[in-house]
Amino acid sequence: MPDPGWWEALWPDPARVLRDIGVTSGSDVVDLCCGDGWFTFPLSRPARSVVAIDIDAALLEMAKIRMAERGGAPNCTFIEADAYEIVGLLNAPVDYVLLANAFHGVPDRPRLAEAVHDVLRPGGLFGIVNWHATPREQTPVLGQPRGPATELRMTLEQTIASVESGGLKFSKNVDVSPYHYGAVFERLR
């Protein structure tokens, strides 16, 4: 996880990002690979329920603390688990799965996309927030190059190809930061 100072500078309005990528009020949402919960708290406001999943216990603990510091969210559950196991972690299908700043690091992307497909309701959405495939030197925040190594970054087209092979249909793209795209996919039926 990045250190919070520049992360906050890069994402000053996470609630706006969520609106832009189609998270709607009253929905059941998963924050997959939630990290220290920068997007989890703003998700918990419009959503009916949020399940926040991460493999790193220490980051999950930070996400819980962040949530508690903001007054808590009774509609939010935190689960320490591997993202590939998402199907077995939920009691019911959901309306939206968010994967922010993590897809570039997933070893088997079609496998993950297929698992996400299987937990979405028909009409449900998968939103991927990913760094554009620009060189790392060209994505400074607070005066330093930031984000994943250049060779790890994925173009929108690469992301679409990986996710559609898991059965979801590309729906729209929105630029959600100076350096990120927000690609939204739909489960058609």
What residues make contact with ligand SAM under the rule CB under 6 A? 1, 33-35, 38-39, 53-56, 59, 82-83, 100-102, 105
- Minimum CB separation from ligand SAM for residue 29, in Å? 13
User: Strands 144-145, 94-100: parallel, antiparallel or unpaired by DSSP?
Assistant: unpaired
Going by C-alpha positions, the residue among 98, 102, 104, 91 that lies closest to residue 52 is: 98
- Minimum CB separation from ligand SAM for residue 88, in Å? 13
Residue nearest to ligand SAM (CB): 35
Closer CB to ligand SAM, 52 or 120, in the complex: 52
- Minimum CB separation from ligand SAM for residue 10, in Å? 10
User: Strands 169-175, 180-186: parallel, antiparallel or unpaired by DSSP?
Assistant: antiparallel
- Minimum CB separation from ligand SAM for residue 58, in Å? 9
Q: Which two tokens stand for residue 81?
A: 């688990």
- Minimum CB separation from ligand SAM for residue 75, in Å? 19
Residues 82/61, Cβ–Cβ less than 8 Å: no
Closer CB to ligand SAM, 32 or 160, in the complex: 32
Angle at 112 between CA 1 and CA 28, to 5 degrees: 80
Closer CB to ligand SAM, 17 or 160, in the complex: 17
Closer CB to ligand SAM, 35 or 127, in the complex: 35
Closer CB to ligand SAM, 58 or 188, in the complex: 58
- For 133, the 3-state DSSP assignment is coil
Going by C-alpha positions, the residue among 49, 40, 100, 47 that lies closest to residue 70 is: 40
